[in-house]
Structure 1
């Protein structure tokens, strides 16, 4: 599947579309180097980003099912709150929109 090319004009983003800026990604900047992504060709970079976002959604869905099962088994006092707090901590660290 190729993702190169242009979008049809009816679906193209305007040039002033408010995309994420460097301020939304605190670890980014001139001094921060990410060779694992900087060296990827454009198409592979876009495909990798899409794959990573799908994987993240799948992991969050799986976590939700796990938390529901913890609740169903009445394990909150042993595991649930610890698991939920850990997820929230990790989730905030992974989501650049949270800063």
Structure 2
């Protein structure tokens, strides 16, 4: 099952995001085929203010564990994280 991890950064946390970015990207790469895609949400100035990560997981609990183990989450970057089951209906390369 696919799950979308929708993450909102805490206000004023851009420096923390930048400092933790390399570890975050390494973590996402370590998910291998379990990572469908990922990228940041941007504000009007083009600065990242959150993340959307879509992962393959056996359950919502497993997807929540993936979210919790992200270095961004461990560093306290996020103000809120929502985990939602998601269906890739259009332009799914695996369909």
TM-score range, shorter chain: under 0.3
Using the size of structure 2 for normalisation, the TM-score is 0.25
Using the size of structure 1 for normalisation, the TM-score is 0.25
> Structure with the greater relative contact order (CA < 8 A, sep ≥ 6): 1 or 2?
2
More strand by share: 2
Greater Rg over alpha carbons, structure: 1
